[in-house]
Amino acid sequence: MQKRKLGKSNLEVSAIGLGCMGMSFSYTPLPDRKEMISLIHAAVERGITFFDTAEVYGPYTNEELVGEALAPFRKQVVIATKFGFKIDPVTKKQAGLDSSPEHIKQVAEASLKRLKTDVIDLFYQHRVDPNVPIEETAGAVKDLIQQGKVKHFGLSEAGVQSIRRAHKVQPVTALQSEYSLWWREPEAEVIPTIEELGIGFVPFSPLGKGFLTGKISEDKKFDKTDFRSQVPRFSPENLKANQAMVDMVEKFAQQKKTTPAQIALAWLLAQKPWIVPIPGTTKLHRLEENIASEKVELSPEDLRELDIAASKISVQGARYPEELQKMVGR
């Protein structure tokens, strides 16, 4: 697999990473742990060197899984994890945000143990905390970098003002936010800002939480434990309206003799050389399909056609429930 550098940093990773959240959190039914360790091993064998987790996935169990799976390969892989949520010690549920410097340092120590490592390659603030100046947050990560416990600082779902303020204190290596053919809001302000500052971009949900694969029909019923059951975009009426996007991508995939998922990922890779999508999966055949998208070449004409076709489709429904929507773009 080809490598890409995240912005102006020296952090080099595989052109496609692996989002590990769904292996122990958010999408149900949850898969077998041993099978997920095997899947992570298969990803390494196929050239993926970039793995994404967070303390809140589980919570804790996803970091433990990733740490165990990657221990034999630690020197050849890049592990990204995240801080910033308070986790209730009794219920183990998210209980608001906490990016105070003291909390960040506690999380780093705990994550290092779970990940079975002595350094976190990329440490993201999971969501901007409105109660803590971003300069303090960036300063805490800067301290961890100086102590050799963290290599790179990242932000997730941050707005452009926060990105600029944080970057002045400690250079930001990567921004992680949702971006896909189905969600293009970052193109307005975020992408121009990070290009100017030399920050890499790591799109999560590059396949629209599975929607752009074409495998979610308009009558799909999500279990109430599946995160998508709360997402307005996945309501039955919105799924029906949004099917036009899938139909467009499927038609394009047929012309290119490839799959809708591969078109969606190839489109992202073609946008900027410092974009590294992290599709998540729990299935080997999907992992291989995603990896193969790196070989799908889209010409300038192909990209123009896709843009024109996509611009005619109005995506229906918010991408987060209201409470979570308030946490993005700060």
Q: Beta partners for 175?
A: 155, 201
pLDDT band of residue 219 (cuts 50, 70, 90) is confident
pLDDT band of residue 225 (cuts 50, 70, 90) is confident
Distance (Å) of CA 77 to CA 18, 47, 52, 95:
11, 10, 11, 31
CATH class of 3-208+271-296: alpha beta
Average pLDDT over all residues of the chain: 96
Domain ranges of the chain: 3-208+271-296
**Reduced DSSP (H G I as helix, E B as strand, rest coil) percent helix, strand, coil of the chain, to 5:** 45, 15, 40
Average pLDDT of the segment spanning 175-200? 97
pLDDT value at 33 more than 90: yes
Catalytic residues: 57
Average pLDDT of the segment spanning 194-218? 95
What's the pLDDT at 195?
A: 98
Cβ atoms of residues 305 and 36 within 8 Å? no
pLDDT band of residue 27 (cuts 50, 70, 90) is confident
Cβ atoms of residues 38 and 31 within 8 Å? no
Say how many residues make up the chain. Answer: 330
Q: Which tens digits make up the pLDDT trace of 113-164?
A: 999 999 999 999 999 999 999 999 999 999 999 999 999 999 999 999 999 9
Distance (Å) of CA 302 to CA 179, 186, 221, 245, 259:
19, 21, 34, 16, 15
Positive/negative CA dihedral, 122, 126, 127, 129: negative
